Amino acid sequence: MNAAADKVLLAVNGHTHIDHVDRAGKLSYLHVNSASYKWVGGSYRNKSYPAEVHSKFRWVEYTCPYRDSLFTTLTIDPANGRIDVKGRESQWVGKSPSQLGITAKPDRTDGKEICPKIRSRRIVSAVN
């Protein structure tokens, strides 16, 4: 995508459930933590809610849920190549992934990228 960097202000991903900005070449990549949980899988099943919730929603035990859903607003200033990200914060319901013994990937930090929040930030295009 760097070949089109003069036409692309930002690439956005919401699937990985992390709060992170990366830059590759001239492009910024925003990972928006746009969800209400972090999927942890079968080896880390846990009971974060009362039994009646877990019996009704069987997949919830495979997650580390957030108290509140996360979303953001992006304010884009194309003339200046600037994007402002409005933050939103929640809390873990029950244990966090690190409290369950899950090791973060080498380029991710529990409590920084792996967290129930979206940090406010300003992203400036490298092309302007």
Query: pLDDT of 49-65, one tens digit each?
Result: 999 999 999 999 999 99
Confidence (pTM): 0.84
- Please say whether the beta carbons of 10 and 30 come within 8 A: yes
Question: Could you identify the residue written with the tokens 């202000």?
Answer: 9
Cα separations in angstroms, 55 against 49, 52, 58, 61, 65:
10, 5, 6, 10, 16
Number of compact structural domains in the chain = 1
Domain range enclosing 93: 2-124
Report the pLDDT value the prediction gives residue 16, as an integer from 0 to 100: 86
Q: Is the pLDDT of residue 128 over 80?
A: no
